[in-house]
Amino acid sequence: MNAPLSKGILRMEHATDPRTVLLKALGDLSNIEIFNNQLLIAIYERPEKTAGGLYLADQTRNEDRYQGKVGLVVKIGPLAFQNDERNDFRGQSVEVGDWVGYRVQDGWSLIVNGPQGKVFCRMLEDVHVRLRIDAPDAIY
């Protein structure tokens, strides 16, 4: 019998809030200036164990860096989510600290060197943010 969707077999077991982990790993981002309508997204890398007790292979978890579809908004450019002749966002926007989903091919991969090592990130245009979610493992 399948587990209820609300508990989901791919929900992860987190020892520490993943938002806190990413923000701490990135450290102070004041020396990074985001231009135009771009967003800097820290990629969510799943922990080893799911809430259902399954262990993910290291290869599966490492692939999140390149094929992950969820990230944490950590910096927003000054023109992001502003209506113009090309886009009407109808009041939709995201804030720093929001979890978002995106298509993998829409982002530019980069690594930010934080005080605790490298953090895999993506640069996205505002129009490439597809959804906002309450938890990083709400989708896969």
Confidence of residue 9 (pLDDT cuts 50, 70, 90): low
Nearest-angstrom CA–CA distance, 63 and 25: 19
Confidence of residue 1 (pLDDT cuts 50, 70, 90): very low
Hey, what CATH class is 18-133 in? mainly beta
Q: What is the pLDDT of residue 89?
A: 78
Average pLDDT, the chain: 86
Q: Are 106 and 127 in contact (CB under 8 A)?
A: no
**SS3 assignment for 42-102:** EECCCCCEECCCCECCHHHHHHHHHHCCEEEEEEECCCCCCCCCCCCCCCCCCCCCCEEEE
**88-136 confidence digits (pLDDT tens):** 778 788 999 999 999 999 989 999 999 888 999 999 999 999 999 999 9
Confidence of residue 39 (pLDDT cuts 50, 70, 90): very high
pTM of the model: 0.85
Domain ranges for the chain: 18-133
CA angle 120, 126, 128 (to 5 degrees): 75
% of the chain residues with pLDDT over 90: 56
